Amino acid sequence: PGPMIRVKRGERVRVRLKNGLEQPTTIHWHGIRIANAMDGVPGLTQDAVKPGASFDYSFIAPDAGTYWYHSHAKTWEQVARGLYGMLIVEEDSAPKVDRELPFVADDWRLNEAGQIDEKSFGSMFDWSHGGRMGNWLTVNGLTDPVFPVRAGERLRLRLINTANARTMAFNFDRLAAHIIALDGQPVPPSSLGADGVTLAPAQRADVIIDIDGKPGDTIPVWEVSTQNRLKAARFVLSDTPPMRSRPPDDPVILPANPTRAVLKPGAAQHIELVMEGGAMGGLREGSIDGKMLSIQELVEKKLVWAFNGKVGMQIQSLAAIPRGQTAVINMVNKTAFPHAMHLHGHHFRVIERDGKPVADA
């Protein structure tokens, strides 16, 4: 993985991408409210950067939080090879914690020789099912890393799930843990139970952990998304005296990020977005720029997923929304697989799930 980029909220980020790959590439700044020209989507916001060429990215980081950057060309391959890194935007006034720890989780698909499984890239089975799952878990690029800690220490973990397809869930064993931000946006502190924190691919969470135990204790961090839990990392308590005898009474509450718009759901523009296709998805046909193709023709082109009956990148936009207009997008998943949804350049609020209002939306 690439280096961490760390800036203050409101600072300008300047990055020159020099493409040393044999493939075109770009950088997408995931979760950042950003001008289209800097968003890094080849064929939409910029031309892909050819091998040997360069491109300068420059933007203001408007919101504090935990973000990341990654390739957005052949993402399914380039990100799976590790072309990504953390982007931390600091608050104007730092929260009261003793230390921050990055926690970047990934699953790699390795062959029997312990190398990246080259043959699996582009697998039609993966393409039409739940994606290219890995078989080797790492945190910060390491297998089961050890985090030295002190009793009484209060930590802020910045978690990112950088896996291409696997939804992960992390349990912090017996430690008191509270989530304070999701996808870069502050949330009211909430205690994590045995199920831990669940992160779909590309999701982030900020978690406060109070270390409790005796010198020499080892406290595992478990990945618990399946019945076969995996040890993701370990906290090991040092022999030094405790930093404090009991956790601080003050909860960590992050300041809200500035918002320019006031949501007006009553006057919103409503958009329906229906996802279909994939194995067991029931898709029979789909259109590409007005031309209808059968499922057999779509499979030959590896176009087996559709939004509103349309496959691939369309010339016609989904909707035209005036600047400042509130939009309500009703997303319907008719596939056999869960799928995280990400809206470039914007933040959004989830207001309903399965027709039921979400509390405190």
Give pLDDT, residue 238.
95
Give pLDDT, residue 352.
93
Please answer whether residues 169 and 197 qualify as being in contact, where contact means their C-beta atoms are separated by less than 8 angstroms: yes
Q: Give the domain ranges of the chain.
A: 5-90, 99-237, 265-357
Q: Please give the Cα distance from 30 to 143 (Å, whole number).
A: 25
- Please compute the mean of the pLDDT values over residues 247-274 and round it to a whole number: 86
Q: Which amino acid is at 76?
A: W
Residue 350: CB partners within 8 Å, gap ≥ 6?
358, 361
Q: Is the pLDDT of residue 260 over 80?
A: no
Residue 261 binned pLDDT confidence (cut-offs 50, 70, 90) = low
Question: What is the chain's alpha carbon radius of gyration, rounded to the nearest angstrom?
Answer: 22
pLDDT > 90 in the chain, percent: 81
- Give the global pTM: 0.94
Please answer whether residues 205 and 78 qualify as being in contact, where contact means their C-beta atoms are separated by less than 8 angstroms: no
Q: List pLDDT tens digits, range 73-97.
A: 999 999 999 999 999 999 998 889 9
Q: Please give the Cα distance from 170 to 154 (Å, whole number).
A: 18
Look-up of token digits 């405190």: 360
Give pLDDT, residue 361.
67
Please answer whether residues 325 and 270 qualify as being in contact, where contact means their C-beta atoms are separated by less than 8 angstroms: no
Pairing of strands 230-237, 218-223: antiparallel
Lowest mean pLDDT among 260-264, 323-327, 343-347: 260-264
Q: Please give the Cα distance from 17 to 224 (Å, whole number).
A: 37
Q: Which of 254, 150, 252, 248 is nearest to 191 (CA)?
A: 252
Q: Please give the Cα distance from 230 to 224 (Å, whole number).
A: 7
Count H helices, E strands: the chain?
A: 3, 24
Q: Is the pLDDT of residue 266 over 90?
A: no
Q: Which of 214, 215, 197 is nearest to 206 (CA)?
A: 197
Q: List pLDDT tens digits, range 118-156.
A: 999 989 999 899 999 999 999 999 999 999 999 999 999
Residue 270: CB partners within 8 Å, gap ≥ 6?
327, 328, 330
- Please compute the mean of the pLDDT values over residues 178-184 and round it to a whole number: 96
Q: List pLDDT tens digits, range 198-235.
A: 999 999 999 999 999 999 999 999 999 988 899 999 99
In eight-state DSSP terms, residue 13 is E
pLDDT > 70 in the chain, percent: 99
Which helix (H) or strand (E) is 106 found in, with range? strand 99-108
Beta-carbon neighbour count of residue 26 at 10 Å? 24
> From residue 220, how far is each of 98, 136, 153, 272 by CA, in Å?
20, 17, 16, 43
Q: Do domains 5-90 and 99-237 have the same CATH topology?
A: yes
Residue 95: CB partners within 8 Å, gap ≥ 6?
156, 180, 252, 253, 254
Q: Is the pLDDT of residue 47 over 90?
A: yes
Which helix (H) or strand (E) is 22 found in, with range? none
3-state secondary structure of 266: helix
- Please compute the mean of the pLDDT values over residues 41-46 and round it to a whole number: 95
Q: Is 310 exposed, middle or buried (0-12, 13-18, 19+ CB in 10 A)?
A: middle
Q: Please give the Cα distance from 215 to 238 (Å, whole number).
A: 5
CATH topology of domain 99-237: Immunoglobulin-like (2.60.40)
Q: Which amino acid is at 341?
A: M
CATH topology of domain 5-90: Immunoglobulin-like (2.60.40)
- Tokens, residue 294: 């059968």
Q: Please give the Cα distance from 77 to 111 (Å, whole number).
A: 15
Look-up of token digits 């950042």: 32
Q: List pLDDT tens digits, range 285-339.
A: 999 888 999 999 998 888 999 999 999 888 788 899 998 899 999 999 999 999 9
Q: Is the pLDDT of residue 167 over 90?
A: yes
Q: Which residue has the higher pLDDT, 297 or 361?
A: 297
